Amino acid sequence: MNLRERLRVMFFCISSVLAMTIVALAGFLPASLFAHARKPATIQAENDTGAITHHPALLLGAAWYPEQWPESRWDKDLALMEAAHITFARVGEFAWSRMEPSEGKFDFDWLEKAIDMAAQHHVAIVLGTPTAAPPAWLTQKYPDTLRIGPDGRRAQHGNRQHFSFTSPRYREFCWQIAGEMAKRFGHNPNVIGWQIDNEYAEPSYDDYTKQLFQQWLKVKYGTLANLNDRWTTAYWSQTYDNWSEIPLGGEGPNNPGLKLEFMRFISHTWADYQQNQIDAIRPYADKRQFITTNFMGFFEGFDHYVVSRALDLASWDDYVGEGQVNPDMNGLTHDLNRGFKHKNFWVMETQPGAVNWADINNFLNRGEVRAMAWQAIGHGADAVEYWQWRSALNGQEQYHGTLVGPDGTPVPFYNEVKDIGRDFAKVGGDFRDTTPVSQVALLYSYDSRWAIDFQQHTDKYDQLALLRDYYAALRKRAQSVDVVNPYSNLDAYKLVVAPDLNVLPKDMAQHLLDYVRQGGNLVLGPRSDMKDQYNALLTQRQPGYLADALGGRVEQYYALLNDVPLSGEWGNGNATIWAEQLGAANGDAQVLMRYGASNGWLDGQPAVLTHRYGKGRITYIGAILDPDLMSKAADWMVAQSGVTPAFGSVPDGVYVSRREGEGKRIFVMVNFTREEKHVELRHAMQALLAGHEESSVDLAAYGVEVFLDQR
């Protein structure tokens, strides 16, 4: 280890210690919310000119790999991009072997030429750091940089993501390449931002990672006695009497406390891995250059709230794979990503028709990709980028969709992108400084997601399906929903819904109770507040710290083999998959729904309770509801909390979104069906794509219109 490596390892440990101390002082925030204790990267280079290439408000992009093609071809590609109104390209994210062909020998001349040539075609650049694909010279000479899988096997060269995210040596190489790139391009006026690495995903299960995990636990728990107590290790003789005995909590069954901490450790480690590169770039980069990384939607491999913290903006890769786009799931995922930073985000990759990795790589219908692009914008994306521009002639993704074929000429799909580009150019300016504003928030927590996944209790329990069902019902009515971390400021929301917030420690409960006390409406779904921050069962029945405010509790939970009838205030329907028998304490809570005849235990028992608390209300829904009943529950939630729709009535299959700002409101209306749909507007508005005022609109199959409402 050279001096810098040692310093970085020390830094990793010291940063953990500091973070834990801050957490301890702050009174037991969960580990998933650890502040990164490293000094925030705010240093600006002295010669920061602050020059701003004022890029368009809505950007359209393509992932371009100039390193795969002769220089003589670049101008042709860029001219074709410009003709399609493509305003940015992301480059570099896998080009390490071109940027550093041998150890310590950097070559950025070709990249600078490509960036300059792009500028001539008004194509701005997002620069990817190439660290998801270390070159062969590196992994051959330093095999210790290669990742170890959960099976104990070392990754081989020839794929990507084959590095170990904790390897000090690998971090050193990342630091160097990112820093060298920033020295060269941090002031380049055509570089508008940075993407760190690409789709963080695979942790390493090597010995060094294990040692770090053990140190991390030591800092967090202080003593083994404390850890043993929190994890109830007396169970099955799991008691540890030396930190070095604690395994990585990766694959397979193990103590739920250990498993949850391991996921938090992975989150912390990815944030730290990322910070290494942010620290390398920031001192040399203009302030105007943003730093992001590209997430994978609902990927559960790390806590995205933790990893987003140091980024300037969140971005994600929106792939459908097999089948057609599900507008609810896709809208939900946009809203999740908007919630990471509570601001607009980018779609950093999306599919140009088809992918190559699904079981059946069908091509999306004509117009469907355009509908997806506008849906993204409606939900707060400021950029949409297609992966990839042109098929690489060899390599693993030869069959993937592109805009240009291997022959270098546009494929038919290119024209759909061109239409999107034309429209972005036409109306993009109206979107500047606008963002969605919602009255409803859904709470999403990685701790709860992991805790339930570790012990599903019924393999039919699908958290994402439950979240999507709540989302779809609420979004249909409110037409705008935020998806946020439970610790977020909730003051602005009329309605806050937590479909299954299983890990709900005391400080989170206090936060939610403050919201209700001040007049908020909180709705909890099944499995709520069962666990503390160590993933241990609470000694109060569900919903633990919230039970008093609810004036009721869960008496017993049941995984269902068959549906159970429900009836009451919301009419008749069924509980599916999961049902909790509720009890109202001293008749405090009002019973809204009861179970019908079932397993004997549930018969006639309360299924939904509601109770006024402070100036607000808390409601507990103890069952997974069938779709019809979910609609009725959503009607009740919306009416009861005074939520109003962002736009107004639209036919089924038409999705509307609203962005606000600068004294204006913009509605994006997308028809996700293959039939024409007629929509009446509340009053005449400027239809920006059509270019005139309208009081109604006929949307063709997958049709889109954008309305400017200045009233």
Binding site for ligand GAL (CB under 6 A): 198-199, 317, 319, 349, 355, 387, 397, 400
| Shortest Cβ 370–ligand GAL spacing (Å) | 19
HSE on the CB side for 8, CA within 13 Å? 23
In this structure, are residues 444 and 485 in contact, taking their beta carbons and an 8 Å threshold? yes
Q: Measured from the CB atom, is 77 or 447 closer to ligand GAL? A: 77
**Beta pairing, strands 590-595 & 606-613:** antiparallel
Q: How far apart, in whole angstroms, are the C-alpha atoms of residue 462 and residue 470? A: 13
Closest by Cα among 625, 609, 541, 530 to 577 = 625
Q: How far apart, in whole angstroms, are the C-alpha atoms of residue 665 and residue 308? A: 28
In this structure, are residues 355 and 377 in contact, taking their beta carbons and an 8 Å threshold? no
In this structure, are residues 276 and 174 in contact, taking their beta carbons and an 8 Å threshold? yes
- Give Cβ neighbours of residue 465 (< 8 Å, ≥ 6 apart): none
| Shortest Cβ 357–ligand GAL spacing (Å) | 6
Q: Measured from the CB atom, is 198 or 574 closer to ligand GAL? A: 198
Cα angle 540, 544, 546 (rounded to 5 degrees) comes to: 135
| Shortest Cβ 85–ligand GAL spacing (Å) | 23
Q: Measured from the CB atom, is 199 or 279 closer to ligand GAL? A: 199
Helices (H), 322-441: 327-341, 368-378, 414-427
The total number of residues shown for the chain amounts to 711
Q: Measured from the CB atom, is 67 or 532 closer to ligand GAL? A: 67
Give the burial class of 131: count Cβ atoms within 10 A of its Cβ; 0-12 exposed, 13-18 middle, 19 or more buried.
buried
**Beta pairing, strands 571-584 & 664-671:** unpaired
| Shortest Cβ 355–ligand GAL spacing (Å) | 4
| Shortest Cβ 396–ligand GAL spacing (Å) | 8
In this structure, are residues 654 and 507 in contact, taking their beta carbons and an 8 Å threshold? no
Q: How far apart, in whole angstroms, are the C-alpha atoms of residue 574 and residue 597? A: 11
Q: Measured from the CB atom, is 130 or 505 closer to ligand GAL? A: 130
Q: Measured from the CB atom, is 387 or 413 closer to ligand GAL? A: 387
Give the burial class of 283: count Cβ atoms within 10 A of its Cβ; 0-12 exposed, 13-18 middle, 19 or more buried.
middle
Instruction: Label residues 145-172 b or e (16+ Cβ within 10 Å = b).
Output: bbbbeeeeeebebeebbbbbbbbbbbbb
Q: How far apart, in whole angstroms, are the C-alpha atoms of residue 392 and residue 408? A: 11
Give the burial class of 583: count Cβ atoms within 10 A of its Cβ; 0-12 exposed, 13-18 middle, 19 or more buried.
middle
Q: How far is CA 150 from the centre of its chain?
A: 25
Q: Residue 72 has which token pair?
A: 């003589």
199 is catalytic: yes
Beta-ladder partners of 410: 404
Helices (H), 231-367: 256-281, 304-308, 327-341
- Give Cβ neighbours of residue 517 (< 8 Å, ≥ 6 apart): 613, 614, 615, 616
| Shortest Cβ 128–ligand GAL spacing (Å) | 9
Considering the candidates 199, 385, 416, 580, report the single residue annotated as catalytic: 199
Q: Measured from the CB atom, is 56 or 352 closer to ligand GAL? A: 352
| Shortest Cβ 317–ligand GAL spacing (Å) | 5
| Shortest Cβ 346–ligand GAL spacing (Å) | 13
Cα angle 128, 129, 131 (rounded to 5 degrees) comes to: 130
Q: How far apart, in whole angstroms, are the C-alpha atoms of residue 392 and residue 334? A: 29
| Shortest Cβ 411–ligand GAL spacing (Å) | 16
Angle between helices 256-281 and 168-185 (to 10 degrees): 30
| Shortest Cβ 120–ligand GAL spacing (Å) | 26
Residue with tokens 């509605």: 667
Strand boundaries in 530-605, DSSP class E: 552-559, 564-568, 571-584, 590-595
Q: Measured from the CB atom, is 44 or 326 closer to ligand GAL? A: 326
Residue with tokens 């820093």: 179
Q: Measured from the CB atom, is 15 or 274 closer to ligand GAL? A: 274
Considering the candidates 349, 385, 416, 580, report the single residue annotated as catalytic: 349
In this structure, are residues 578 and 601 in contact, taking their beta carbons and an 8 Å threshold? no
Q: Measured from the CB atom, is 396 or 415 closer to ligand GAL? A: 396
Q: Measured from the CB atom, is 129 or 198 closer to ligand GAL? A: 198
Q: Measured from the CB atom, is 164 or 388 closer to ligand GAL? A: 388
| Shortest Cβ 318–ligand GAL spacing (Å) | 10
Q: Residue 709 has which token pair?
A: 């409402």
In degrees and rounded to multiples of 5, residue 66 shows phi and psi of -55, -25
| Shortest Cβ 160–ligand GAL spacing (Å) | 8
Indicate the residue type of 275: Q
Q: Measured from the CB atom, is 355 or 654 closer to ligand GAL? A: 355
**CA dihedral sign of residues 603, 608, 611, 613:** positive
| Shortest Cβ 585–ligand GAL spacing (Å) | 50
Residue nearest to ligand GAL (CB): 355
Q: Residue 551 has which token pair?
A: 């004036």
Instruction: Map residue 401 onto helix, strand or coil.
Output: coil
Active-site positions read 199, 349
